[in-house]
């Protein structure tokens, strides 16, 4: 511990030297008494011998105030400061003790100052004022006791040491608090970033599905009416597939911006995933909400510049009103808006559809049918009917169209016109199609020579190994492919004409017959079909039905027949219900006829009988009452 002694009298310095010679000259009783006094004075913790031993005094002697000030300055610069300074008051010719104390204090705020004087002509208050604080200035009268000085030095050194340790601990603590504060600020920033990421879509930075559902739930709690809409791009997959994912991403960003700019003020626009966006906005009036959505759909119908390509993708929109009179459950709102969106997609895209309750009902039935259909095969609920196809002249039965029937325990008979599209969507069509083909082929063996005409959905047709698959079934059944006619629709072949053309050629090479079903309802130009390997066209029954009433239908029927003949194809007229129709079709040149006039689709046993009989006599050909009616008509 460094101790500074400032006194102009050399003799006094000797006394100090004696004081700091390690206390060896101090009698033990005196030392104890002074220890007790020091504890009283400074309230220090229990001193122990080890502590005291640690305080080896290091006195530094100065004879003038200025020297002392310089010594303090040096000590601070060397980072080895004094703990205590004993200062005499009168030290001519230099500065006096008061000024020395003032200057030392100015340099060192921590040092303890002890004013040692034999005179009473100084004011402690005055000195404290310039060299305070008061708890760091002490007074000892001259002549002093050795023990008094050494004990005072010991007590003040201990206190100085404790103060320093405390200060060090405090500054360490302050640094730690500061670091902690920095850390927590950083954490808070991280948290808000994480919150942002959790609630926003990375591609567009628009709110995501979670944020949308949250905000929608919040909005549902308010009384005012509002509209919820789902928006989906019409040809996004095409852009992604043809221009790549980068272009797809860019398009999503562009469209998101377009939507944000075209919605009413205050609209929440969220990207729900893929090419789907969700919006909701204040609106009490359905017509106004529809107009707002139409504006958005219209804005999306423009062409976007995507990586140098002009891309038109268009959007469809489903809308549901929520609020005062509408739906209040957020999940249900989204579900209903989705149903409306699906309806918009089905009804030609690029439009806005408002949810109505029939959509909900329709969905429920669809789901039931889908579930029921999965079990229908196992439960033996499916069966096949056969409808004769007859030659135009002698009405000889040349073949039968196999038509699937589903009889359910719950709903009775369900029309294939209803369940086939559902089977197509859920891909059950493959198992169902296999079942139909196998059963049709099995039935074929009971006929003398007729062919069976089996319907295939476009999804079956596009299946990989379609040709091999059919060939396997035919081989397994031991049937000549020439007795199997494959009915496919225009959609099946024109979606991917090149591939379809190859498939048809392969089938024809294997000996199968190919019929183009529902002909005239698709978009294929009559001219284009010449490229495909076909055997016959089946004129859709809507034209046959319209023949007697509309000139257009009659004209279409005539041109299809002409075209078929020109291309060397057979032409089957379906849905022939009246004698008049049959007559007109014969005259026009249809090669084959099919319809209720000749026979309804009949169960397998009846078909066997008709096949054996080979010719239909109109009076006995039909098996039902409808038949009799249509014959009379
Ligand atoms: P489609 O291929 O056009 O079959 C002809 C449909 O017309 C049959 O209806 C048949 O009962 C009906 N029909 C026949 N003659 C007449 C008539 O004179 N007047 C009227 N109004 N209708 C007549 P069905 O059996 O209800 O089949 C409906 C559709 O379901 C079929 O239309 C076909 O697209 C599909 N379908 C039926 N069975 C199968 C199948 O096994 N596989 C596939 N993929 N689709 C099938
Ligand atoms: Ca058909
Ligand atoms: Ca048809």
What are the domain boundaries of the chain? 2-168, 209-359, 364-413+422-630
User: For the segment 339-357, what is each residue's pLDDT rounded down to a tens digit?
Assistant: 999 999 988 788 999 998 8
- Cα gap 77→124, rounded to integer Å: 29
- pLDDT score at 523: 56
- Residue with the smallest CA separation from ligand 1 atom 23 is 575
Ligand nearest to the CA of 487: 2
CATH topology of domain 209-359: Alpha-Beta Plaits (3.30.70)
Task: Indicate which residue's Cα is closest to atom 11 of ligand 1.
Answer: 601
Q: Is 225 in the pocket of ligand 1 (CB under 6 A)?
A: no
Which ligand is nearest to the Cα of residue 601, counting in written order? 1
Q: How far apart are CA 457 and CA 404, in angstroms?
A: 13
Whole-model pTM: value is 0.55
Q: How far apart are CA 84 and CA 134, in angstroms?
A: 14
Atom of ligand 1 nearest to the CA of 597: 18
- Nearest residue (CA) to ligand 1, atom 7: 575
Confidence of residue 43 (pLDDT cuts 50, 70, 90): low
**Cα of 250 vs its chain's centroid, Å:** 17
Q: Which residue has the higher pLDDT, 448 or 531?
A: 448
Ligand located closest to 539 CA: 3
pLDDT in tens, 248-299: 999 999 999 999 999 999 999 999 999 999 999 999 999 999 999 999 999 9
Ligand 1 atom with the smallest distance to the CA of 457 is 44
At 526 the pLDDT is 64
- Pick among 3.30.470.10, 3.40.50.2300, 3.40.1010.10, 3.40.50.10490: CATH of 2-168: 3.40.50.2300
Give the model confidence (pLDDT) of 405-442 as tens digits: 999 887 789 999 989 988 988 888 999 999 999 999 99
Rounded (to 5) percent helix, strand, coil in the chain: 55, 20, 25
How far apart (Å, rounded) are the C-alpha atoms in residues 9 and 116? 12
C-beta neighbour count of 569 within 10 angstroms: 21
| Whether CATH 3.20.20.450 fits 364-413+422-630 | yes
Maximum average pLDDT range among 179-188, 316-325, 475-484, 557-566: 475-484
Whether residue 595 has its Cβ less than 6 Å from ligand 1: yes
Strands 382-391 and 397-408: antiparallel
Between the CA of 540 and the centroid of ligand 3 the distance, in Å, is 6
């Amino acid at each position: 511990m460094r101790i500074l002694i400032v006194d102009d009298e050399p003799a006094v310095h000797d006394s100090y030297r004696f004081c700091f010679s390690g206390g060896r000259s101090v009698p033990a009783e005196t030392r104890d008494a002074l220890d007790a006094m020091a504890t009283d004075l400074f309230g220090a913790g229990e001193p122990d011998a080890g502590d005291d031993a640690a305080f080896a005094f290091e006195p530094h002697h100065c004879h003038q105030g200025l020297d002392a000030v310089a010594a303090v300055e040096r000590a601070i610069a060397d980072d080895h400061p004094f703990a205590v300074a004993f200062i005499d008051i009168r030290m001519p010719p230099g500065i006096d003790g008061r000024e020395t104390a003032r200057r030392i204090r100015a340099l060192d705020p921590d040092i303890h100052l002890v004013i040692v004087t034999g005179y009473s002509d100084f004011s402690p208050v005055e000195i404290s004022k310039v060299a305070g604080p008061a708890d760091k200035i002490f007074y000892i009268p001259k002549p002093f006791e050795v023990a008094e000085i050494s004990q005072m030095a010991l007590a003040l050194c201990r206190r100085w040491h404790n103060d320093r340790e405390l200060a060090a601990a405090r500054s360490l603590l302050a640094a730690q608090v500061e670091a902690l504060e920095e850390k927590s600020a950083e954490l808070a920033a991280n948290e808000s970033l994480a919150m942002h990421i959790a609630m926003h879509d990375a591609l567009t930075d628009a709110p995501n599905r979670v944020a949308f559902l949250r905000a929608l739930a919040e909005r549902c709690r308010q009384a005012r009416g509002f509209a919820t809409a789902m928006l989906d791009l019409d040809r996004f997959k095409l852009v992604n597939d043809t221009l790549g994912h980068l272009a797809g991403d860019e398009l999503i960003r562009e469209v998101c911006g377009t939507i944000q700019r075209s919605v009413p003020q205050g609209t929440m626009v969220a990207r729900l995933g893929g090419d789907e966006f969700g919006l909701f906005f204040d609106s009490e009036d359905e017509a106004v909400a529809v107009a707002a959505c139409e504006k958005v759909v219209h804005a999306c119908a423009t062409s976007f510049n995507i990586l140098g390509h002009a891309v038109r993708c268009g959007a469809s929109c489903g809308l549901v009103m929520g609020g005062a009179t509408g739906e209040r459950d957020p999940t249900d709102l989204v579900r209903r808006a989705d149903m409306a969106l699906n309806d918009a997609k089905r009804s030609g895209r690029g439009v806005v559809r408002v949810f109505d309750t029939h959509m909900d009902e329709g969905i429920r039935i669809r789901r039931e049918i889908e579930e029921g259909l999965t079990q229908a095969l196992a439960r033996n609920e499916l069966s096949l009917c056969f409808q004769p196809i007859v030659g135009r002249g002698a009405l000889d039965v040349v073949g039968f169209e196999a038509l699937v029937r589903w009889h359910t325990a719950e709903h009775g008979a369900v029309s294939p016109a209803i369940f086939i599209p559902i089977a197509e969507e859920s891909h059950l069509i493959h198992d169902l199609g296999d079942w139909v083909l196998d059963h049709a082929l099995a039935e074929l063996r009971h006929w003398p020579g007729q062919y069976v005409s089996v319907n295939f959905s476009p999804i079956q047709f596009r299946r990989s190994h379609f040709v091999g698959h059919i060939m396997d079934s035919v081989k397994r059944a031991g049937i000549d492919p020439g007795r199997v006619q494959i009915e496919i629709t225009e959609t099946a072949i024109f979606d991917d004409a090149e591939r379809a053309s190859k498939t048809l050629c392969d089938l024809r090479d294997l000996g199968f017959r190919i019929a183009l079903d529902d002909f005239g309802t698709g978009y294929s130009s009559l001219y284009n079909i010449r490229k495909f390997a076909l055997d016959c066209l089946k004129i859709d029954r809507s034209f046959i039905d319209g023949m007697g009433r509309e000139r257009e239908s009659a004209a279409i029927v005539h041109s299809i027949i002409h075209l078929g003949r020109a291309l060397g194809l057979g032409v089957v007229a379906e849905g022939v219900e009246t004698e008049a129709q049959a007559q007109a079709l014969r005259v026009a040149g249809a090669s084959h006829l099919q319809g209720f006039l000749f026979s309804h689709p009949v169960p397998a046993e009846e078909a066997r009988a008709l096949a054996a009989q080979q010719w239909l006599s109109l009076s006995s050909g039909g098996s039902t009452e409808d038949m009799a009616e249509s014959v009379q008509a």
